[in-house]
Amino acid sequence: MPKIAIILGSTRPGRNGEAVAQWVLDIAKQRSDAEYELVDIADYKLPHLDEAIPPSMGQYSQPHTKAWADKIASFDGFVFVTPEYNHSTSGALKNAIDFLFAEWNDKAAGFVSYGSVGGARAVEHLRLVMGELKVADVRAQVALSLATDFKNYSEFAPAEYHVGEVTTMLDQVVQWSNALAALRRPVAA
């Protein structure tokens, strides 16, 4: 059974993403096709990228990088919950992604975004990043509007139809995570 991380991609005080990520996890936990876990990047207290050697070399020196790498390596797929800041994802999420390389490879990703236009532009940028990391991003995504899915732009109150969108996105993430499993297995020598 695949393990899917729901990654909370904001560290901002008072962030809307916490409620969104918990909502996604609550929907996911009603399923029996994967193990789901909420991963809050704030818990890892990652500074601005401070590894001297590029992540593609896999030679991590910092304890926080090693802890982050161990966590991400344990998953088969991801759901990124991202805000949209200035037509892109949060700097904190991009930084967390940039710390690693091989731990992301040959896995699947889906997106749940929120912002003035549903966070669509944040997801566009994340899709480009996922391609470089050899992550298969799925077509279905959930775009939540600050104007219609939040009361006063801060209290999360999603429209009911978004549950179906989450379900479709999770279906695709699980399917692709399973399909890519053979690529993640070590090759016998």
What's the topology of domain 3-184? Answer: Rossmann fold (3.40.50)
The string of pLDDT tens digits covering residues 159-179 is: 999 999 999 999 999 999 999
Task: Determine the Cα–Cα distance for residues 44 and 41; give it in Å rounded to an integer.
Answer: 6
Indicate the pTM of the whole model.
0.96
Segment 115-120 mean pLDDT: 95
Whether the CA torsion 104, 94, 68, 27 is positive or negative: it is negative
Question: Tokens standing for 135?
Answer: 């992550």
Residues pairing with 156 in the sheet? 150
- pLDDT of 142 > 70? The answer is yes
Beta strands 135-145 and 107-115, pairing class: parallel
Phi, psi for residue 102 in degrees, rounded to 5? -60, -30
In angstroms, the CA 139 to CA 104 distance is 18
Q: Would you place residue 185 in the very low, low, confident or very high pLDDT band (cuts 50, 70, 90)?
A: confident
